[in-house]
């Protein structure tokens, strides 16, 4: 097997297999160094920040006077990298005094900061590539001629060290592989990712927007996006009501003491917004979780064993502090609405209730056509005494209960130590995104701790007080992340029941056939079909193409024949042919489409 020479951060050099992950990481790190060298060569006086090899490529942060590096200049930089790769240059290791290192990057505040941060005993380890110095922060290939199959992808703004209080730099992204075929496959996958990116589709279909000027990580739902979200919310509420849940509304603000009691303040403080001092000793907190709120609903009355299982659900708005650099469309936000639910059960009811919740989740998945998912039992790491609630008996008991429940259902699962929440083990249902990444969609979590901390009781059949067990569960996660997931899975072509516009009616002549189109729209709306008439003064072909671009499931064209025969000419999204149908026949078809969640019979 071919090997490559890799230089380590201590200056030692060893050979590793070229096909290993470590080798690819070192190739990416070398490419980042070469990009740094190219930037210095092409743009005199440029200031250079981090050079990073990451999971899917590499990037370099930079800053220069006047205009930043533009996308139009990437080809120029690629040519400069190619010239370096063809030279006899190789990476050399240097251990410089801090003074020498700082002198080499004078007038560059970002490189200066990196050097000071990495200095040890008055010295700093650095890589030297053709006279360009960079802090040695990761293993790197020695020979530059191995960088042949690369591509600079894009430029984007990035705050220095990910903090919005720092200057905005220009981040240049790239990808690189040893083999040309691997590069081409990667570029093809990236194009598919771009076409499925919910942020791109959300802009094209006018579903939502986020404007950092009025609040980073705070999405605004436009009418079409709001329609999709509202349809999901109505669906899930009806589904939960039918399954025995009682829906509530609870405030987004809560006294900080509740989160101290629950343990969120101790374990989750970095992800919570600062408390609000009301001036009279009361401290209010934007809630990061809904469970303490639902506990208050339970505590509001004396509970009897006859009420258990008591199922409480809410589309609960929560707020979590996310650093600005981590925010992304609807997937990472600061305000979110969770499809949340909590069931309070007696000990002997756990297994049956667990199975009932799991069945609900799998039924919902079926309606949304989610088929690629796996089960993960998430346990605590017993060695991590700081993260997890200290009660060995509780952990052993609850973990064994979840495992027994899964075994009784005959479902395959895998076990993950260290993935539990701080207050209890859980079942995570892992789904595959449109691009093959894994993420947690749904969760069922046992909790013996919070009922203890909040001193919850119910009166048993024996007339004595007993402690309930709390089960946390989320069926589809947050509305924000779920809509992002669906947008990418469907590539914006939502099934009819979810589509914000289900029917567009196009009159051949608005003057002659517009009134008929309006009558049809009124009839469809009365049947809860989302329909609109395109009255714009545009050519019919343009309107049809526009409906296809907006991915409307059904486009209806109406003219003289349709008016005379009480019919419509139907064109489905993605199809070229049009079919004539009576209005009643079309309504039967689309209503069946909606009622069956657009599944094939």
Is residue 448 domain-resident?
yes
Please indicate, yes or no, whether residues 11 and 155 belong to a single structural domain of this protein: yes
Residue that wins the pLDDT comparison between 175 and 161: 175
- The most confident of 6-20, 319-333, 473-487, by mean pLDDT: 473-487
What was the pLDDT predicted at 385? Answer: 67
Please indicate, yes or no, whether residues 364 and 309 belong to a single structural domain of this protein: yes
* Cβ atoms within 10 Å, residue 468: 24
Share of the chain above pLDDT 90, in %: 61
Q: Which residues of 479-493 are buried (b: 16+ CB within 10 A; e: fewer)?
A: bbbbbbbbbbbbebb
Is residue 194 domain-resident?
no
Is residue 199 domain-resident?
no
pTM assigned to the model:
0.81
Q: What distance lies between CA 42 and its chain's CA centroid?
A: 37
What was the pLDDT predicted at 351? Answer: 86
pLDDT in tens, 3-57: 889 999 888 999 999 989 999 999 999 999 999 999 988 888 889 988 999 988 9
Task: From 383, 466, 394, select the one nearest 418 (Cα to Cα).
Answer: 383
What was the pLDDT predicted at 25? Answer: 93
Task: From 118, 155, 146, 169, select the one nearest 10 (Cα to Cα).
Answer: 118
Please indicate, yes or no, whether residues 486 and 449 belong to a single structural domain of this protein: yes
Boundary residue ending a domain (460, 490, 520) = 490
* Cβ atoms within 10 Å, residue 345: 21
Please indicate, yes or no, whether residues 175 and 213 belong to a single structural domain of this protein: no
Please indicate, yes or no, whether residues 480 and 560 belong to a single structural domain of this protein: no
Please indicate, yes or no, whether residues 262 and 389 belong to a single structural domain of this protein: yes
Please indicate, yes or no, whether residues 232 and 150 belong to a single structural domain of this protein: no
| Confidence band of 601 (pLDDT split at 50, 70, 90) | low
What was the pLDDT predicted at 337? Answer: 96
Q: Specify the CATH number for the domain of residue 556.
A: 3.40.50.800
Average pLDDT over residues 408-419: 86
What was the pLDDT predicted at 90? Answer: 87
Residue that wins the pLDDT comparison between 162 and 306: 306
Please tell me the least confidently modeled range out of 47-61, 413-427, 531-545.
413-427
What was the pLDDT predicted at 118? Answer: 87
Please indicate, yes or no, whether residues 125 and 107 belong to a single structural domain of this protein: yes
Is residue 601 domain-resident?
no
Is residue 195 domain-resident?
no
Q: Specify the CATH number for the domain of residue 119.
A: 3.30.980.10
Please indicate, yes or no, whether residues 484 and 505 belong to a single structural domain of this protein: no
Is residue 197 domain-resident?
no
Tell me what the pLDDT averaged over the chain comes to: 91
pLDDT in tens, 203-213: 999 999 999 88
Q: Please tell me the total count of domains within the chain.
A: 3
513 is in an annotated binding site: no
What was the pLDDT predicted at 512? Answer: 92
Task: From 590, 548, 502, 557, select the one nearest 224 (Cα to Cα).
Answer: 502
Please tell me the least confidently modeled range out of 173-182, 410-419, 539-548, 581-590.
410-419
What was the pLDDT predicted at 268? Answer: 85
**Is pLDDT of 1 > 70?**
no
Boundary residue ending a domain (188, 212, 233) = 188
Please indicate, yes or no, whether residues 380 and 293 belong to a single structural domain of this protein: yes
264 is in an annotated binding site: no
What was the pLDDT predicted at 107? Answer: 78
Is residue 476 domain-resident?
yes
Please indicate, yes or no, whether residues 125 and 264 belong to a single structural domain of this protein: no
**Cα(223)–Cα(501) distance, integer angstroms:** 10
Please indicate, yes or no, whether residues 450 and 585 belong to a single structural domain of this protein: no
Is residue 283 domain-resident?
yes
Boundary residue ending a domain (490, 506, 530) = 490
198 is in an annotated binding site: no
**Cα(551)–Cα(553) distance, integer angstroms:** 6
Domain that residue 16 falls in: 3-188
**Is pLDDT of 573 > 90?**
yes
Q: Specify the CATH number for the domain of residue 342.
A: 3.30.930.10
């Amino acid at each position: 097997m071919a090997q490559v020479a890799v230089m380590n951060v201590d200056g030692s050099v060893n050979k590793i297999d070229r096909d290993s992950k470590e080798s690819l990481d070192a190739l990416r790190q070398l490419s980042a160094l070469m990009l740094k060298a190219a930037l210095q060569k092409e743009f005199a006086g440029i200031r250079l920040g981090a050079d990073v090899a990451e999971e899917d490529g590499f990037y370099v942060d930079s800053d220069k006077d006047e205009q930043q590096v533009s996308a139009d200049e990437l080809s120029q930089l690629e040519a400069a990298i190619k010239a370096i790769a063809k030279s006899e240059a190789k990476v050399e290791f240097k251990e410089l005094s801090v003074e020498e290192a700082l002198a080499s990057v004078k007038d560059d505040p970002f490189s200066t900061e990196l050097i000071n941060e990495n200095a040890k005993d008055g010295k700093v380890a650095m890589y030297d590539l053709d006279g360009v110095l960079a802090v040695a922060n990761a293993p790197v290939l020695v020979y530059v001629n191995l960088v042949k199959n690369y591509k600079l992808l894009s430029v984007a703004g990035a705050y220095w060290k990910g903090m919005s209080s720092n200057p905005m730099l220009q981040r240049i992204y790239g990808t690189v592989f040893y083999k040309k075929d691997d590069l081409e496959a990667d570029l093809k996958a990236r194009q598919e990712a771009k076409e499925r990116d919910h942020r791109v589709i959300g802009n094209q279909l006018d579903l939502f927007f986020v404007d950092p000027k009025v609040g980073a990580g705070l999405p605004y739902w436009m009418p079409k996006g709001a329609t999709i979200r509202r349809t999901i919310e109505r669906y899930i509420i009806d589904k939960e009501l039918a399954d025995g849940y009682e829906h509530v509304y609870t405030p987004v603000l809560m006294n900080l003491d509740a989160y101290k009691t629950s343990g969120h303040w101790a374990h989750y403080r970095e992800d919570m917004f600062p408390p609000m001092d009301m001036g009279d000793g009361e401290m209010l907190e934007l809630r990061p979780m809904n469970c303490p709120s639902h506990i208050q609903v339970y505590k509001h009355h004396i509970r009897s064993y006859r009420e258990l299982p008591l199922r409480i659900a809410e589309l609960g708005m929560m707020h979590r502090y996310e650093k600005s650099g981590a925010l992304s469309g609807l997937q990472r936000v600061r305000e979110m609405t969770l499809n949340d639910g909590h069931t309070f059960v007696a000990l002997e009811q756990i297994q049956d209730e667990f199975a009932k919740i799991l069945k609900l989740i799998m039924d919902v998945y079926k309606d949304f056509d989610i088929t690629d998912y796996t089960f993960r039992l998430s346990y605590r790491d017993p060695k991590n005494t700081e993260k997890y609630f200290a009660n060995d008996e509780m952990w052993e008991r609850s973990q064994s209960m979840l495992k027994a429940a899964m075994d009784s259902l005959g479902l395959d699962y895998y076990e993950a130590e260290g993935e539990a929440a701080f207050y209890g083990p859980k079942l995570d249902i892992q789904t595959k995104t449109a691009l093959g990444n894994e993420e947690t969609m749904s969760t069922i979590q046992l909790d013996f701790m919070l009922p203890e901390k909040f001193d919850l009781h119910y009166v048993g059949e024996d007339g004595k007080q007993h402690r309930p067990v709390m089960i946390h569960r989320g069926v589809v996660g947050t509305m924000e992340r779920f809509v992002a997931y669906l947008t990418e899975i469907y590539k914006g072509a939502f099934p009819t029941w979810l589509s914000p516009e289900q029917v567009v009616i196009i009159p051949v002549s608005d003057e002659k056939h517009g009134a008929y189109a309006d009558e049809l729209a009124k009839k469809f709306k009365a049947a809860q079909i989302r329909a609109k008439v395109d009255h714009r003064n545009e050519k019919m072909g343009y309107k049809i193409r526009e409906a296809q671009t907006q991915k409307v499931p059904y486009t209806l064209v109406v003219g003289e024949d349709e008016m005379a025969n009480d019919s419509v000419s139907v064109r489905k999204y993605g199809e070229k042919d049009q079919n004539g149908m009576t209005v009643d026949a079309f309504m039967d078809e689309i209503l069946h489409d909606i009622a069956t969640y657009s599944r094939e019979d």
